[in-house]
Structure 1
Amino acid sequence: MKTCLVVDDSPVIRKVSRRILEDLGFEVAEAANGVAAMAWCDAMMPDVILLDWWMPEMDGLEVLRRVRASHGGNVPQVIFCSGETEIERIREALEAGADEYIMKPFDGAIVAGKLQSLGLLQVRAA
């Protein structure tokens, strides 16, 4: 089973994300901030990270940079999931190593589409 680390300071976003990802067949872990996310990644690198931008203690961009610089940091597919909508900021995240970007609010179809585009989810036959 593929693993996903959901990193967001909002308990509601973590809960919604967990439900979507578990319904898609992922094993899900949660982190409420960047420091907790890095501790989790140091212990076990997930297959995918759903990452918020603005969080206390360490923002998502710093988490992304640290993950990519760490041992095994090339493994996870990183999907930024943020309310940040300015194209310059989105470009900054992608240039820093994010694989995809989702703008909040989002739903299961959006998450599934991004996971499919990254090869992490098989398209289900109708």
Structure 2
Amino acid sequence: MSHRKPYVRPVERTWWKNHPYYRFYMLREATVLPLVLFTVFLLFGLGSLVRGPEAWEGWLHFMANPVVIAINIVALAGSLFHAQTFFSMMPQVVPVRIAGKTVSKKVIVLSQWAAVAVISLVILYLV
């Protein structure tokens, strides 16, 4: 057994700030924070729906708070940003071939956004 200490390179807490790729990655991963708050708000909404009309009205009043509205807008922006980055890398991860020819990356990304638009319109129609 050797008594030498192995070299451990010191890593600063802000190591990711030195490279634009890692800054972009951290920004993308940080979009989960407002989405977590949005999910917690919805869970409390379901709980208040079960408790009765008074609790539901209280939750609706809470959701009308400007801070909550701002958090929801940031969550929507983060969700769209996350979707855009996911959709843009999808053609590289799963290349689609039809009749032996690779489908254009632009077509794949646009078809994913079209699916999001259609699903959103269906949900808006149902609500």
Q: TM-score, normalising length from structure 1?
A: 0.22
**Larger proportion of helix:** 2
**Larger proportion of strand:** 1
Q: TM-score, normalising length from structure 2?
A: 0.22
Larger-gyration structure (1/2): 2
